[in-house]
Amino acid sequence: MSSDAQKIQNLKSIVIYSTLGLGTATGLFFLARYFYKKTKANVSQRRSLEVGDPATFAKQLKMAFDNDNYMGWGTNEQMVLQVFNEIPSKTMYTKVQKEYANLYGRSLNADLEEELSSEEYNELIRILNAKK
């Protein structure tokens, strides 16, 4: 084998092994990220049964979004208002937002905007702004 052919063969080997290594590292990254998010969701899920915990409020809001009538679709706006009235402070609301993201992988504010009319959303903002 000539010197040039040997260099080309070495270069091919380097490219192949680098690509395999990069693919493996990427796969491991996504796998680790998946388990990290799953663990955070499980911790939030366990705490969601404690009264006054941010995860409990997050779960109540999600349930209000999902359960309105006997058909099982629509938003229970009264329940959303009730939960917002029970949240004691703006700081707690920030924690509720984090727990909602941990549990459902979605933004609470985006879901509120999607599920409520502009009047209902503005009412929630007024309730939130009245809190310390």
Tell me, yes or no, whether 5 and 53 share the same domain: no
Tell me, yes or no, whether 56 and 102 share the same domain: yes
Tell me, yes or no, whether 31 and 87 share the same domain: no
Q: Which domain holds residue 18?
A: 1-39
Q: The pTM is what?
A: 0.62
* Tens of pLDDT, residues 29-75: 988 888 887 777 676 666 666 667 888 899 889 888 887 666 656 77
Residue 2 main-chain phi, psi, to 5 deg? -75, 170
Q: Provide DSSP, 39-97.
A: HHHHHHHHHTTSTT-HHHHHHHHHHHHH-SSTTS-S--HHHHHHHHHH---HHHHHHHH
Tell me, yes or no, whether 93 and 129 share the same domain: yes
Q: How far apart are CA 65 and CA 71, in angstroms?
A: 13
* Tens of pLDDT, residues 64-113: 888 766 665 677 788 888 998 999 999 999 999 999 998 888 899 998 88
